[in-house]
């Protein structure tokens, strides 16, 4: 079961942003970013202080066609999933 913690509006140019507050002494947290139930989500591993930037190439293939910066753990997870 999952719970939606944040919803945001996507601008006409495709840009969006949102904030997740994580305490400095908290362990990494896992999040799934989705454009809706019909698309496979991107899994993010977020730690305090991360400033994550995603560049999504195609909304219809969100799961594989993106690049990520600002979270080494999320980047490694994407590389693992791409194999």
What is the structure's pLDDT at 63?
Answer: 67
Tokens of 72: 């080494």
- Give which of 38, 67, 45 is closest to 54, Cα–Cα: 67
> pLDDT per residue over 4-56, tens digit each?
666 777 788 878 787 888 888 989 998 888 877 777 788 899 999 999 998 87
pLDDT of residue 1: 46
Of 62 and 3, the one with more pLDDT: 62
Write down the pLDDT at residue 7: 74
Q: Are 45 and 28 in contact (CB under 8 A)?
A: yes
| Separation CA 2–CA 20 (nearest Å) | 16
What does the pLDDT read at residue 2?
55
Predicted pLDDT of residue 4: 62
């Amino acid at each position: 079961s999952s719970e939606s913690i944040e919803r945001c509006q996507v601008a006409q140019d495709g840009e969006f942003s949102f904030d997740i507050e994580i305490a400095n002494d908290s362990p990494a947290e896992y999040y799934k970013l989705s454009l809706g139930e019909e698309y496979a989500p991107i899994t993010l591993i977020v730690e305090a202080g991360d400033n994550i930037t995603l560049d999504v190439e195609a909304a219809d293939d969100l799961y594989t066609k993106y690049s990520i910066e600002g979270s080494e753990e999320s980047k490694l997870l994407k590389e693992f999933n791409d194999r």
